Amino acid sequence: MIPAELEASSLDLPSSDHCRIVVITNAELRHDRFALRLQAEFPGLVVAWLQVVPASPRTTETGGSRLDKFRKLGVMLRSVLAGGPHILLSRTGRRVVIGRSRELLSRIGRRMVAKFEGEAASQRIVEQRIFGDEIEQLKKTAYLSPKTIQNPNSAETIAFVNSLEPYFILTLSGAIYGKELRDCARGLALNQHDGWCPEYRGADTIDWALYHRDLSKIANTVHILTSGMDSGPILRRSIACLAVDDTPESCFARSVALGTELMCETVRELIQTKKARIFHQPQFTGYTYLISQMTKDIKDDIRRDLQRSLIKRDIAKRTAF
């Protein structure tokens, strides 16, 4: 439950009789479960649930949809060809090349969007199977609905959160939260990360643990929010329990479910004691993965391993005593 191999220190939190909680999530079922579990665990203390929903579901961090980016490439190509030496292509030839290039780029863009949407749909199906019934039960006692925001670091959001005077800000999402937002927490701003820190930080960390056949690192970590990605001091960390028929999607869902329970346990202890034992992540240990690094070939390798009973063999090895 705690990373005993890491350097530890103690942290005293401010005294308070009103440990208000602001929850920030995305909009998938696992995020709903996170917010609903916290309301059930800390009735009356959760004062806001902010759900980050970008203006367009296909909008990237740098702005614009993926298809828009490919269209822009087509425009750039047209500009280059149109301004190039006339000896290379006739006017008709340039039009043909431009048209075919734009068509190709648009087709690639549509396939990429379909790929991402297909993966998201598969994850939603698994989460509905694992979390669906529980979420329906949790909704019966929930007293807060999500407030939709587009940007958690906007001045409007920061002003709203600050006005609530939260003691805790608790997050489950892939966003990077700025210092102004983190500083709104009178006590601590905490995040649950679906991975084993410090070895697996960043994106797709459950998939990366599967790829490396490192099943002992299919885990979840509760850590203090900092400017780095999943790099803040750790309060809790634990390994998820897997089943022999698990898929990458269900391994991920089990990790998130575990992390939510770790978050509840952590916050309960902090409210009672106002003290935290924190474990510092070494600066040069582990790896921070980027979304772009998880390619189709790697995903295919992971599924091939699971089809060859990777989890079943690992469980058998661990229980052979």
Dump pLDDT digits (tens) for 34-72.
999 999 999 999 999 999 998 764 444 444 555 555 555
Rounded average pLDDT over 118-142: 94
CATH class, domain 8-60+113-318, is alpha beta
Rounded average pLDDT over 132-150: 97
Q: What is the pLDDT of residue 118?
A: 66
The yes-or-no verdict on residue 31 having pLDDT over 70 is yes
Dump pLDDT digits (tens) for 240-297.
999 999 999 999 999 999 999 999 999 999 999 999 999 999 988 999 999 999 999 9
Does 76 or 308 have the greater pLDDT score? Answer: 308
Share of the chain above pLDDT 70, in %: 80
Domain spans of the chain, in order of start: 8-60+113-318
Q: What is the pLDDT of residue 85?
A: 44
Secondary structure in 3-state letters for the chain: CCCCCCCEEEEECCCCCCCCEEEEECCCHHHHHHHHHHHHHCCCCEEEEEEECCCCCCECCCCCEHHHHHHHHHHHHHHHHHHCCCCCCCHHHHHHHHHHHHHHHHHHHHHHHHHHHHHHHHHHHHHHHHHHHHHHHHHCCCCCCCEEECCCCCHHHHHHHHHCCCCEEEEECCCCCCHHHHCCCCCEEEEEECCCCCCEEECCHHHHHHHCCCHHHCEEEEEECCCCCCCCCEEEEEECCCCCCCCHHHHHHHHHHHHHHHHHHHHHHHHHHCEEEEECCCCCCCEEECHHHCCHHHHHHHHHHHHCCHHHHHHHHHCCC
